[in-house]
């Protein structure tokens, strides 16, 4: 099931635009989908900088004095 999406503005280079359009022409996958996938890759790469729950076997929880 598709989740609701919000609209935002993203500035890309002319080269990125051209390559995304070629990719779309060959695959018929919308450019927006490739941009969402790229955002997901960046969020996964930097997930340690995002708030969230601590792994049970990972670092101590915030505020437990260690």
Once rounded to an integer, what is the mean pLDDT over residues 4-12?
94
pLDDT at 38 (0 to 100): 97
With helix as H, strand as E and coil as C, how does 39-65 read? HHHHHHHCHHHCCCCCCCCCCCCCCCC
Task: Give the model's pLDDT for residue 63.
Answer: 56
Residues 6 or more apart in contact with residue 12 via CB below 8 angstroms: 20
pLDDT per residue over 12-63, tens digit each?
999 999 999 999 999 999 999 999 999 999 999 999 998 886 666 766 555 5
| Within a domain: 30 | yes
8 part of a folded domain = no
Comparing C-alpha atoms, which of 50, 36, 46, 39 is closest to residue 3?
A: 36
- What is the residue range of 36's domain? 14-47
pLDDT for res 62: 57
Structural domain contains residue 27: yes
């Amino acid at each position: 099931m598709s989740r609701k999406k919000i609209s935002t503005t993203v500035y890309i280079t002319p080269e990125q635009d051209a390559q995304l359009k070629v990719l779309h022409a060959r695959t018929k996958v919308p450019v927006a989908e490739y941009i969402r996938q790229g955002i997901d890759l960046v969020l996964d790469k930097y997930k340690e900088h995002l708030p969230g729950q601590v792994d049970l076997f990972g670092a101590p929880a915030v505020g437990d004095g260690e």
